[in-house]
């Protein structure tokens, strides 16, 4: 058994372990912690989607809300207006988002946008979708759409009012699949092409990589995953409006996780989400019910985001390559430090 397990590549072994942990976790949590856990896993999934495009292929997206919102609105409109199950709506949304990714990817890369300019272009596309959706009748303009609650558990409508654990298992499954896709990508030709493009696009092109094609692939995979995340969250939240779907907060939230965790690493987005999402939730609840000596901040809107902003700045200044980047370095320093200690002891003994 152990022998068999050892033959599986390391990342897959970690993935299996993660699956086991995720399967057990909801059994140990109360209502509040479960909602924190759902948020965490959900942001880890979105971060994983961003990481493929922004981390591995090096195409920094500052407008992932565009893909997210397309997914959110597609499944919601299909469900509310046509009674189509969100499971199917989710896939349609992913296809639309991938198509949108194909179009903007093709346009942007064909016109040679890269770096700052590409990031700003993705930002502009997300904002344009937000502004257009505030006027669009089919998505009920800026009023937004409520998803009627079925009042109970329904797998076909993806609503689990009685057993929110199912929400957790759904998004946990998505995360596992997302990470599985990431690992597959890193171990295959397409992943090497992505990284070649990230490191030096001209050199990659000179070696025969069809850079345009592979950059667009990265955008499309990433877009489809982000759309599924959007569908999921709106099913969980049961309401969508233009700023929930296409808001800047989404674009920022999505890229924060991999950047804090470690850009272009398999586990970076998960590490970032484990750090940031509970932090955001706990500061929010802390401000709602602060200890008595801090009672003046009770219920003051904004204090929680202020704290979040400060912590974000501190993390980025002190862990510029993400936590996944700094952890091995600290480990090495700890080890070399120990070696030095050993050596100095030896010299003393001599």
Cβ proximity of 209 and 219 under 8 Å:
no
- Spell out, one character per residue from 48 to 67, where the chain touches other proteins: x when CB under 8 A holds, - when not: ------------x-x-----
Q: Which is nearer to other proteins, 40 or 108 (CB)?
A: 108
Q: For residues 26 and 322, which CB has a smaller minimum distance to other proteins in the complex?
A: 322
Q: Where are the alpha helices (DSSP H) in 201-302?
A: 201-206, 211-237, 242-246, 248-261, 268-288
| Residue 66 or 270 having the CB closest to other proteins | 66
Look-up: residue for tokens 């086991």?
A: 20
Q: Does 316 interact with other proteins (rule: CB under 8 A)?
A: yes
State which of residues 9, 320, 328, 337 lies at the interface with other proteins (CB under 8 A): 320
Q: Which stretch binds other proteins (CB under 8 A): 6-14, 163-171, 218-226, 254-262?
A: 254-262
Smallest separation (angstroms) from other proteins to the CB of 121: 5
**Six-digit token pair at 293?**
């000596």
Residue 257 C-beta: closest distance to other proteins, Å: 12
Q: Is residue 132 at the binding interface for other proteins, with CB under 8 A as the rule?
A: yes
- Total number of residues that touch other proteins (CB under 8 A): 41
Q: DSSP 3-state assignment of 61?
A: coil
Q: Please compute, for residue 60, the number of CA atoms within 13 A of its CA located in the half-sphere on the CB side.
A: 13
3-state SS track over 73-138 = HHHHHHHHHHCCCHHHHHHHHHHHHHHHHHHHHHHHHHCCCCCHHHHHHHHHHHHHHHHHHCCCHH
Distance (Å, whole) CA 80 – CA 77: 5
Nearer to other proteins, 40 or 133 (CB): 133
Q: Which stretch binds other proteins (CB under 8 A): 70-78, 209-217, 234-242, 310-318?
A: 310-318
Under 8 Å between Cβ of 240 and 76: yes
Among 32, 111, 155, 334, binds other proteins (CB under 8 A): 111
Among 102, 115, 129, residue whose Cα is nearest residue 251: 129
Which range of residues in 190-198, 205-213, 255-263, 328-336 is near other proteins by CB under 8 A?
255-263
Q: Does 120 help bind other proteins (rule: CB under 8 A)?
A: yes
User: Residue 26 and residue 166: Cα distance in Å, rounded?
Assistant: 9
280 binds other proteins (CB under 8 A): no
CA distance 216 to 70: 18
Give me the residues that bind other proteins (CB under 8 A), please.
60, 62, 107-108, 111-113, 115-117, 119-121, 124-125, 127-128, 131-132, 134-135, 252, 255-256, 259, 263, 300-303, 305-306, 308-310, 312-313, 316-317, 320-321
């Amino acid at each position: 058994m152990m022998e068999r397990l050892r033959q599986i590549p390391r990342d897959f072994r970690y993935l299996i372990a993660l699956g086991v942990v995720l399967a057990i976790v909801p059994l140990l949590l109360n209502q509040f912690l479960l909602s924190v856990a759902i948020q965490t896993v959900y942001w880890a999934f979105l971060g994983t989607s961003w990481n493929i495009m922004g981390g591995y292929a090096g195409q920094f997206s500052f407008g992932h809300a565009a893909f997210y919102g397309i997914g959110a609105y597609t499944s919601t409109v299909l469900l509310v207006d046509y009674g189509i199950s969100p499971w199917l709506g989710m896939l349609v949304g992913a296809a639309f988002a991938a198509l949108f990714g194909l179009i903007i990817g093709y346009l942007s890369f064909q016109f040679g946008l890269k770096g700052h300019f590409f990031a700003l272009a993705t930002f502009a596309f997300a904002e344009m979708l937000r502004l257009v959706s505030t006027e669009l009748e089919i998505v009920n303009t800026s009023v937004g759409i409520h998803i009627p609650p079925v009042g109970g558990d329904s797998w076909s409508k993806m609503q689990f009012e009685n057993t929110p654990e199912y929400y957790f298992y759904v998004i946990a499954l998505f995360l596992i699949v997302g990470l599985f896709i990431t690992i597959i990508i890193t171990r295959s030709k397409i992943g090497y092409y992505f990284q070649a493009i990230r490191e030096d696009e001209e050199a990659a092109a000179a070696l025969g990589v069809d850079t345009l094609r592979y950059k667009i692939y990265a955008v499309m995979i990433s877009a489809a995953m982000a759309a599924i995340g959007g569908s999921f969250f709106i099913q969980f939240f049961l309401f969508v409006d233009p700023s929930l779907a296409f808001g800047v907060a989404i674009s920022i939230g999505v890229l924060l996780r991999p950047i804090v965790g470690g850009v272009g690493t398999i586990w970076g987005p998960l590490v970032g989400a484990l750090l940031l999402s509970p932090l955001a939730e706990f500061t929010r609840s802390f401000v709602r019910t602060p200890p008595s000596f801090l009672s003046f901040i009770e219920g003051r809107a904004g204090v929680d985001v202020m704290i979040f902003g400060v912590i974000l700045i501190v993390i980025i200044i002190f862990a510029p390559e993400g936590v996944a980047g700094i952890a091995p370095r600290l480990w090495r320093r700890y080890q070399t430090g120990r070696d030095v200690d050993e050596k100095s002891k030896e010299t003393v003994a001599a």
